[in-house]
A and B are shown apart, each in its own frame.
Chain A
Amino acid sequence: MNSSDNSSSQIDADQDPPLVQIEGLTFRRGQKVIFDGLDIDIPRGKVTAIMGPSGTGKTTLLKLIGAQLRPQAGRIRVDGVDIHRLGGRALYRMRRRMGMLFQSSALLTDLDVFENVAFPLRENTRLPGGVLRTLILMKLQAVGLRGARRLTSSELSGGMARRVALARAIALDPMMIMYDEPFTGLDPITLGAIVALIKRLNDGMGLTTVIVSHDVPETLGIADLVYVISQGKVVARGSPETLQQTDSPWVRQFMRGEADGPVPFHYPAPPYLEDLMGDAP
């Protein structure tokens, strides 16, 4: 961990206890170690970004927080409760308080926009039709798609699908939302809209936001606290401003998007000339 610890102490000090506490998390897939004693605190009411290169297990971390995966060691406490000790109904009750926006949006393809947003409400509540309709229109209004409520998922652009998924994620008024790569593959206008929307929802609804992303400028623009993970561990932690001025060459390379540096451009390989002259496949 680097010198940015001091700068983030203010964030921790006024947001105690954290909403999500990850302690000594170890997770392996077969022989591959994804997380090796990971420690992360996600403060309440803030936008926390978890960043790192592709393949570092950022999406896996969200699935671990949502208890869709189980760690081999360590624990994750959500609102003071060890989520992996919950089972059945208790786990589902907890998940009602946790929204998640998937990278693929994961809209239900046989339902239109309105029904997609209505889905969690219909399945988890017994609201009268009129109240349900009003709630859904409010959620769709929040993401600017009230007028698109009768479009099917195949008629939506990538950005619109993500906004519908966002409306669906906030349908049950969760205490936190987890965003999995929310900025990937969007045009500049939609990107700006999504960035603004995430910040507005966080501040306006008093949510706790967790963003998993490798899009540096967009994420740093709205994050209050940033964790950078690599090879299963936290390699940097702090506010966006302090991470921009970090001494760590690795973090600097990631933040500035430099092609070569401590993270090599080339995948490990035998010497080039030897390879060219050889006959191995």
Chain B
Amino acid sequence: MSLLDGLQSLGHGTLSMLARMGRAGLFLGRLMPSLDMSLRRPGLVVRELYASGVLSFVIVAVSGLFVGMVLGLQGYITLSKFNAVNSLGVVVALSLVRELGPVLTALLFAGRAGSALTAEIGLMKSTEQLSAMEMMAVDPFRRIIGPRFLAAFIAVPLLTLIFDAVGVFGGYLVGVAMLGVDNGLFWSAMHGAVSFRADVLSGLLKSVVFGFVGAWIAVFNGYDAVPNASGVSRATTRTVVNASLAVLGLDFLLTAWLFS
């Protein structure tokens, strides 16, 4: 490939990316006013909350447990060198509520539910179901995309709380039940050092932002998918990649804003 071809390809890729970002912005502009039906018919959101939230519970809880256990083990090994194993509860809890809980939950959600949302909406588009709805005088934004977006947006913070809680329990299992850290000190140190407002709420704010962006990326990529098998497949992959990068990038910005 010549230099000129390379430049042309780079320019084409950049233009397509900018065009997609523009479409995503317009999509969001159309999506926001369409959420009124989701608010008037909460049953639609509850059903989607089950599909994207409840069905993601197991993967989030199991991941949280293992992450908490690893934190407990690594924390114990490191803290024991400084004779500070009594601070294990603090290390586990702060790591989880500030960073790992929101970030890993959002990444897991993008892989489990975000990709499923994209595939579902993309397939509905490729099988003309969205088109058919428009012809039945039913707005797909109100009836299909809005409730799914709202459900995903609500699910991520709730799943983050579950991840945090199960993770702390995992740290407790390894630190207290297996390695013999004092039970009372584990909890009291955590209680004393973790601030509800500065740590828990800040982590939760991160998860709200991740939920919004992840849900937006998932439903947009489904709606914007080229309506055939490879188009839906590419859209699904794009959701996982874009959402993961967005979460990690935003995490840095939010951490710099909230904790510096």
Question: What sequence of 0s and 1s flags, for each residue 112-130 of chain A, a beta carbon within 8 Å of any chain B beta carbon?
Answer: 0000000110011000000
Question: What sequence of 0s and 1s flags, for each residue 100-142 of chain A, a beta carbon within 8 Å of any chain B beta carbon?
Answer: 1010101111000000000110011000000000000000000
Of the candidate stretches B131-139, B188-196, B203-211, B242-250, the one touching chain A is B131-139
Which residue of A68, A98, A109 is within 8 Å of B129 (Cβ)?
Answer: A109
Q: Does A96 contact B (CB under 8 A)?
A: yes
Q: How far is the CB of A97 from chain B (nearest CB, A)?
A: 9
B127: A residues at CB distance < 8 A:
104, 106, 109
Q: How far is the CA of A168 from the CA of B137 in the complex (A)?
A: 12
**Is B143 a contact of A123 with CB atoms below 8 Å?**
yes
Q: Which residues of B contact A (CB under 8 A)?
A: 127-129, 131-132, 134-139, 143
**Is A100 a contact of B135 with CB atoms below 8 Å?**
yes
B129: A residues at CB distance < 8 A:
106-109
**Is B135 a contact of A124 with CB atoms below 8 Å?**
no
**Is B138 a contact of A120 with CB atoms below 8 Å?**
yes
Q: How far is the CA of A96 from the CA of B134 in the complex (A)?
A: 10
Q: How far is the CA of A172 from the CA of B137 in the complex (A)?
A: 10
Q: How far is the CA of A63 from the CA of B143 in the complex (A)?
A: 21
A124: B residues at CB distance < 8 A:
136-138
**Is A119 a contact of B138 with CB atoms below 8 Å?**
yes
Q: How far is the CA of A109 from the CA of B135 in the complex (A)?
A: 17
Q: How far is the CA of A107 from the CA of B129 in the complex (A)?
A: 6
**Is A66 a contact of B135 with CB atoms below 8 Å?**
yes
Q: With A96-B136, A106-B132, A108-B129 given, can you name 10 additional A-B contacts, CB distance below 8 Å?
A: A100-B132, A102-B128, A102-B132, A104-B127, A106-B128, A107-B129, A120-B138, A123-B143, A172-B136, A172-B137
Nearest to A103 among chain B residues (CB) is B128
Q: How far is the CA of A46 from the CA of B136 in the complex (A)?
A: 22
Q: How far is the CB of B64 from chain A (nearest CB, A)?
A: 30
**Is A68 a contact of B131 with CB atoms below 8 Å?**
yes
Give 18 A-B contacts (CB < 8 Å), ordered by A residue.
A68-B134, A68-B135, A93-B137, A95-B134, A95-B135, A96-B137, A100-B132, A102-B132, A106-B128, A106-B129, A106-B131, A108-B129, A119-B136, A123-B136, A123-B138, A124-B136, A124-B137, A165-B132
Q: Which interface residue of B127, B132, B134 has the most chain A CB atoms within 10 A?
A: B132
Q: How far is the CA of A7 from the CA of B212 in the complex (A)?
A: 62
Q: Which of A56-113 contact B (CB under 8 A)?
A: 63, 66, 68, 92-93, 95-96, 98-100, 102, 104, 106-109
Q: Which of A12-61 contact B (CB under 8 A)?
A: none
A165: B residues at CB distance < 8 A:
132
Nearest to B126 among chain A residues (CB) is A104
Q: How far is the CB of A260 from chain B (nearest CB, A)?
A: 31
Contact status of A92 and B139, CB under 8 A, knowing A104-B127, A106-B127, A109-B127? yes
A-B pairs, 3 with minimum CB distance: A106-B132, A106-B128, A120-B136
A95: B residues at CB distance < 8 A:
134-137
B143: A residues at CB distance < 8 A:
123
**Is A92 a contact of B132 with CB atoms below 8 Å?**
no
A99: B residues at CB distance < 8 A:
135
Q: How far is the CA of A124 from the CA of B135 in the complex (A)?
A: 12
Nearest to A92 among chain B residues (CB) is B137
B132: A residues at CB distance < 8 A:
100, 102, 106, 108, 165
A106: B residues at CB distance < 8 A:
127-129, 131-132
A98: B residues at CB distance < 8 A:
135
Q: How far is the CA of A93 from the CA of B139 in the complex (A)?
A: 12
Q: How far is the CA of A96 from the CA of B131 in the complex (A)?
A: 14
Q: Which of A136-184 contact B (CB under 8 A)?
A: 165, 168, 172
Q: How far is the CB of A81 from chain B (nearest CB, A)?
A: 15
Q: How far is the CA of A172 from the CA of B134 in the complex (A)?
A: 14
A123: B residues at CB distance < 8 A:
136-138, 143
Q: How far is the CB of B95 from chain A (nearest CB, A)?
A: 40
Q: How far is the CA of A78 from the CA of B42 in the complex (A)?
A: 36
B136: A residues at CB distance < 8 A:
95-96, 119-120, 123-124, 168, 172
Which residue of B128, B131, B137, B139 is within 8 Å of A120 (Cβ)?
Answer: B137
Q: How far is the CB of B47 from chain A (nearest CB, A)?
A: 10
B134: A residues at CB distance < 8 A:
66, 68, 95
Q: How far is the CB of B174 from chain A (nearest CB, A)?
A: 42
Q: How far is the CA of A120 from the CA of B128 in the complex (A)?
A: 15
Q: How far is the CA of A165 from the CA of B127 in the complex (A)?
A: 13
Nearest to A93 among chain B residues (CB) is B137
Nearest to A121 among chain B residues (CB) is B136
Nearest to A124 among chain B residues (CB) is B137
